[in-house]
Amino acid sequence: MLVVLIPAIGILLWFALLVVALVLLGIIWGVGGLLVGLVELTHRITGRKNAGRSKRNIARVPPQRNAPRGLSGPKPPLKTAGNSQRSTPPARVQAAVETRVASDIWPKWTPSRRRDVDRELALWQEQFDALISPK
Read off the pLDDT of residues 7-60 as tens digits, 9 standing for 90 and up. Answer: 788 889 999 999 999 999 999 999 999 999 999 998 888 876 555 555 556 667
Q: Is residue 89 part of a domain?
A: no
Q: In total, how many domains does the chain have?
A: 1
Model confidence over 86-116: pLDDT tens digits? 566 666 655 555 555 555 666 677 888 889 9
Q: How much is the pTM? A: 0.32
Amino acid identity of 55?
A: K
Q: Is residue 101 part of a domain?
A: no
Q: Is residue 106 part of a domain?
A: no
- Hey, what's the torsion of the CAs at 123, 126, 128, 133, to 10 degrees? -170
| Cβ count within 10 A of residue 55 | 7
| Cβ count within 10 A of residue 132 | 6
Q: Residue 35 belongs to what domain range? A: 2-51
Q: Is residue 134 part of a domain?
A: no
Q: Is residue 14 part of a domain?
A: yes
